[in-house]
Amino acid sequence: MEQRASPTQWYGPKRFFAPTVHLCDLPPLDAVLISHDHYDHFGAHTLRKLATLPNTQHARWITSLNVGQRLRCLGVAPDRTTELDWTDSVAVGDLTITSWPARHFSGRGIFDRFNTLWASFVIEGPQHRVYFGADSGLWEGFTEIAQRYDGFDLTLLEIGAYHPLWSDIHMGPDGAAAAYRAMGGFPRVGLLMPIHWGLFNLALHGWRQPIERLLELDTNPSTSRYWLPTPGHPTDVTPGVEIRSDWWKQR
């Protein structure tokens, strides 16, 4: 619902295009996973609305340490909220969701930086594993996490809203490519889904530049596989099978 990643909806980084799926059209959700409390990840209007819908009435809200209070202020019941410290896990059905470190920060104002935690997450099922890198600068922890799980079927790494001065907290496409290689490359890491680049206007670069730069770096297609479905289109993940929809070229 948020039109801007900002404390207000009249000023701040604006959406590139409208949501592809209405909140009320989502299927029943088992879990809502929130990595940290920055405005582009924690939209108050969206979360307040989501908390009232029938499709989240049985969902477990999983987030980082101390972010639960923010959710409670938006109407999420405390008994439906799980806060995770780094290395903590929670079971949701037959899945295990584990919080892992990331190289980033938190806060929604001038005076609350670092009052809440930020994290990346591993979602582990009986047969498959997914790594959600959330927001992070490039660091050696990516390799350590991948080694612990012997790789992933799907790896989500952020590529957008980047600048050389922000390299400690955002990777950009070059950093994401390096992280993907460090995590083992194909086939151990499986498919790479680039995220955090096509929603809000958070940086000075063109909005298509992150994905175009990432694909330029792909000089050896035999060592990388991308999962780039069209937003809003339900798409299955098939091990080793790429999807390169090029949806951004039509916008």
Which tokens sit at 202?
């958070």
- CA–CA separation, 95 and 91 (whole Å): 6
pLDDT for the residue 11: 85
pLDDT for the residue 218: 83
Half-sphere exposure of 74 toward its Cβ, with a 13 Å CA cutoff?
Answer: 21
Average pLDDT of the residues of the chain = 92
In a domain, 193, yes or no: yes
Average pLDDT estimate for 38-60: 96
What is the distance of C-alpha 169 from the center of its chain? Answer: 14
In a domain, 53, yes or no: no
For residue range 64-95, list pLDDT tens digits in order. Answer: 999 999 999 999 999 999 999 999 999 999 99
For residue range 110-129, list pLDDT tens digits in order. Answer: 889 999 999 999 999 999 99
- CA–CA separation, 218 and 65 (whole Å): 36
Give the domain extent around 162. Answer: 128-250
- Which helix (H) or strand (E) segment holds residue 211: the answer is helix 209-216
In a domain, 180, yes or no: yes
The total number of structural domains in the chain stands at 1
pLDDT of 157 above 80:
yes
pLDDT for the residue 54: 96
pLDDT of 236 above 60:
yes
Contacts of 58 (CB under 8 A, 6+ apart): 28, 30
- Which helix (H) or strand (E) segment holds residue 84: the answer is strand 81-84
Indicate the range of 92-106, 135-149, 237-251 predicted with least confidence: 237-251
pLDDT of 185 above 80:
no
pLDDT for the residue 107: 96
- 223 phi and psi, to 5 degrees? -110, 5
pLDDT of 188 above 70:
no
pLDDT for the residue 187: 54
Average pLDDT estimate for 201-217: 94
Asked whether 3 and 12 are in contact (CB, 8 A), the reply is no
pLDDT for the residue 10: 86
In a domain, 189, yes or no: yes
In a domain, 174, yes or no: yes
pLDDT for the residue 25: 94
In a domain, 24, yes or no: no
Asked whether 244 and 228 are in contact (CB, 8 A), the reply is yes
In a domain, 85, yes or no: no
Average pLDDT estimate for 224-240: 88
Residue 194: which pLDDT band, with cuts at 50, 70 and 90? very high
Neighbouring CB atoms inside 10 A of 239's CB total: 12
- Angle at 175 (CA atoms; ends 171, 179), nearest 5 degrees: 110
Tell me the pTM: 0.94
In a domain, 66, yes or no: no
